[in-house]
Amino acid sequence: MYIKNRIKNIIDYLNKSQQYKDRIRSLENQLEWLKNHSDITLLKPATGYLRQEQLKILKLAEDFFRDTSNLHITPFLTGGNLIGAVRHKGFIPWDDDLDFAVTREDNDKIIDFCHKYGVVDIYKGRWSEYSYGEIYRRQQKMLQKYPEKYILDVWVDQLQLYKGTSVLDVCYLDFWPFDYYREGYSIEEHMLYLQNVLKRIKRIDRVDKIIEFLRNERKRNKNISDKPTSIFFPGIDNHIGYGRINKTKDWLYSKDIFPLRKVRYENSVFFAPNNIEKYLDYDYPDYMNYPKEVGINPHEVFKDLEMSMVIPTINIFFNDRKDIETVFKVYDYFENSNIYSVVVCQRFELYELVNKKCLRIRKERISNSYDVYVREKNLFFNRKAYSSLETLVQSIKKQYVGR
């Protein structure tokens, strides 16, 4: 009898597994149909929390470029943000960063400006151990020490400017340095050179020493030009160049980038390459089509996974719309108590209610986090009921410190 039941359970499990597989295949087919019968340029903008974050980042860019207007720098849109400008006249609906390419001269001006009017920070740890969790830990300390100041994090492969009061409200701008290269220097030579530089970087490993090495290497290498040439390509301190090893067969050319043009981006105007189509075709030949990762925000995934290394992270669960006001109150109290919170909603009607309030929202719980349940306006944590938010927060933080 036992064996018969085990066999029956296995068969039931296999049947359910096949049902799930069939359902997934059906949803994939539906998605492909929608992608083939819709215009990607007509997608609606992001809503809720994501839209709020996009507009905060946009304001940071506007403020920074206004404050540096006397420097006459001309950072121009690149990567997904340039695609967004073409396809959506602003942010890609599921994206939440802002990337600019900069000339070497502008790169150095940004660093000088932040030395004078902000803060410049360089990590002194090992590059091989530099995780997103470590990044957030460093940034939390800097934000608490220098709230609402421009903080420039000089990375091995980019510049990252950020501003805020904590990792809960921080906004970022990413700058990617480009250099001119000597006429007659071949792309094949450069790819071999980058492979060699990458090996040396890995041997050095310490971030501040790598940055010093790359600075000296740029001065030493006669193929990198201080003056404009016909070749304009990512610098050796820009990881985009390394990503093109064994993939790139030609240079980017100055004539396709300069003189820069201005394009609309949301309600702002930014610089862009002169020949946008040629520039985007270089890396994104299908940029006017739906990407495989449509609707997925990669930064959100990283942040959810790593934030628990810096501050407590909480999943807030509820199943009744009568509890929505309590959920809003709990979320706000947690955020003001320096707790990273997400509201977990799988029912569409509840998801929409939370989204309208611009709260951080997920359809699945984030791992390595604590769970708080709201039921009939009561709060539950670790199977214990709490009548006071203050007591609940104290309990969460006490458990977090002891973890």
Residues 6+ positions from 71 with CB-CB distance below 8 Å: 106, 109, 113
Q: What pLDDT does 75 receive?
A: 98
Give CA 251 to chain center in angstroms.
27
Nearest Cα residue to 217 out of 241, 183, 246: 241
Percentage of the chain exceeding pLDDT 70: 96
- Assign 245 a pLDDT band (cuts: 50, 70, 90): confident
DSSP string, 204-248: H-BHHHHHHHHHHHHHH-TTEESS--SEEEE-TT-HHHHTTTTT-
Q: What is the pLDDT of residues 92-102, one digit of tens each?
A: 999 999 999 99
Q: What is the pLDDT of residues 125-168, one digit of tens each?
A: 999 988 888 999 999 999 999 999 999 999 999 999 999 999 99
pLDDT at residue 123 tops 80 = yes
Phi, psi of 10 (to 5 degrees): -65, -45
Q: What pLDDT does 373 receive?
A: 96
Q: What pLDDT does 5 receive?
A: 61
**325's tokens:** 């006001």
DSSP string, 12-23: HHHHHHHHHHHH
148: left (phi over 0), alpha (psi -120 to 50) or beta: left
Cis peptide before 259 (omega within 30 of 0): yes
Where is average pLDDT lowest: 47-56, 125-134, 251-260, 391-400?
Answer: 125-134
Nearest Cα residue to 169 out of 132, 138, 144: 144
Neighbours of 229 (CB within 10 A): 17
Residues 6+ positions from 294 with CB-CB distance below 8 Å: 35, 94
How far is residue 151's CA from residue 118's CA, in Å, rounded to a whole number? 6
Percentage of the chain exceeding pLDDT 90: 79
Q: What 8-state DSSP symbol labels residue 167?
A: T
Q: What pLDDT does 23 receive?
A: 78
- Assign 15 a pLDDT band (cuts: 50, 70, 90): low
Across residues 47-63, what is the average pLDDT?
A: 97
